[in-house]
Each structure stands twice: as structure tokens, then as C-alpha cells.
Amino acid sequence: MEPTDFTGRLSRDRLAAIVRGRSADAALRTVLTLVEEGVDLVEVSLNTADACDVIAEAAREVGEDALIGAGTVVTRDDLLRAQDAGATWIVTPTTGEAVTAAVHERLPVLAGALTPTEAAVAVTAGATAVKLFPASLGGPAYLRALRDPFPDMPLVPVGGVDADLVPEYFAAGALAVGVGSPLVGDAAHGGDLDLLRRRARLFRSVCRRQEAGA
């Protein structure tokens, strides 16, 4: 997928799930459950147990129904391993070499940044969007403040984004939201998948209301 197409996908779906688990089997089940519930953008963090195997199996099982990404991508080697496993988009914690490598490989990349300077560096480096992390430090008000000097910057808040805050982030100008533990809970460690399904439906419902302009 071209980076510009991925921006459109973020704008349409408005929700990306973040899976990070101690159990590869549980992480895979979590990814597949999220996709079954309509969460079609799922990032598997590379510090998940056997992360590349999880990415590869998830990509095989979901086919074209969803886009499986890799998160916590720090180095070029990380990126190439994730790409070989089948990741079609990349998330980094910083604006380091992984961003440059992703741009070179024409992989969509959400580059981690917090300050205005870091966000500007990410965009200049060619990031598809800026992962505003940890968003909980400033909340929707901080994202709104960043939109003043950077009105066209695609911002995706990550970190502490619970369902109640989603409308506030969208009102502040977020392109989409990235959600880990408030959505995934302990499912990727072997926790209850029925509870995961309920949370997935809640987040999808909130995002659909935002799509409808409610």
C-alpha cells in the first residue's frame, strides 16, 4: 500500500489497535479477534513474543480483510524483518533510522514524536503520519495546540486513549487514534477474548459516530 493510500485508510477507519503480548498464541488470537470485530488496522509490537511469526500468521489468515503493521520498529533491521514477515505499515517510537528506512522501502510509517520539533522532523523525514506519544501527557488540548502551527499535519494520538477521550481527540483534529491497553486489555497475554470483543465493539461504535459527524 502506498503511503498516501494509507493516510486515506487512517482517515476512513480512524482506529488502529496496538497488540503487545507475552504469548505469541494469545497475541495472534487477539489480532484475529480484533479483525473479526471490524478493527482492520492492527499493529503488532516487535516486543511481542515471536512478533514476526505473529505478523506472518496474522497476515496469512486475514488476507486482504485487514492491514497488519509492526510497531516498536527502531532500526532498519527491525523494519526489514517486519516487512519480510508481511507487515504492510510501520510504527516507530522515535524519528530515527527506521523512519528513513520505511520511506526508502515505500512503507507507510507512523513516526513517534511528542514535541513540535520532533513532529516537524518526522514530517520532514517523510513520515506518513505523526504518532503523538505519549498523548496522555497533554491530552486533546495539547493536540489542538499543535494544530495551530501545523494545521495540515496528520496526527495520531497514542497512549492512554480510552473510549471516552476519542471524541475529544477527533474534535481537536486527530486523523485517527492508536489504542493499546484500553482496547486490548490483557487479551494478548491470554486474557478473556469475550471482553476484548466488547471493547472492540465499543471503540468501533465511538469511531463510527465520529465518521457520521455525531
Tens digits of residue pLDDT in 176-185: 999 999 999 9
- Return the amino acid letter for 66: A
Closest CA to 51 of 75, 76, 16, 26: 26
Structural domain range at position 187: 3-211
Alpha helices by DSSP H, listed for the chain, are 3-13, 24-36, 51-62, 76-85, 97-105, 116-125, 139-147, 166-172, 181-184, 193-211
Supply the residues annotated as catalytic.
Answer: 43, 131
Tens digits of residue pLDDT in 129-177: 999 999 999 999 999 999 999 999 999 999 999 999 999 999 999 999 9
Tens digits of residue pLDDT in 66-94: 999 999 999 999 999 999 999 999 999 99
Share the mean pLDDT of the chain: 95
> Would the pTM of this model clear 0.85, i.e. be above it?
yes
Q: How many domains does the chain contain in total?
A: 1
> Looking at residue 144, which CATH number applies to its domain?
3.20.20.70
Q: What pLDDT does 3 receive?
A: 86
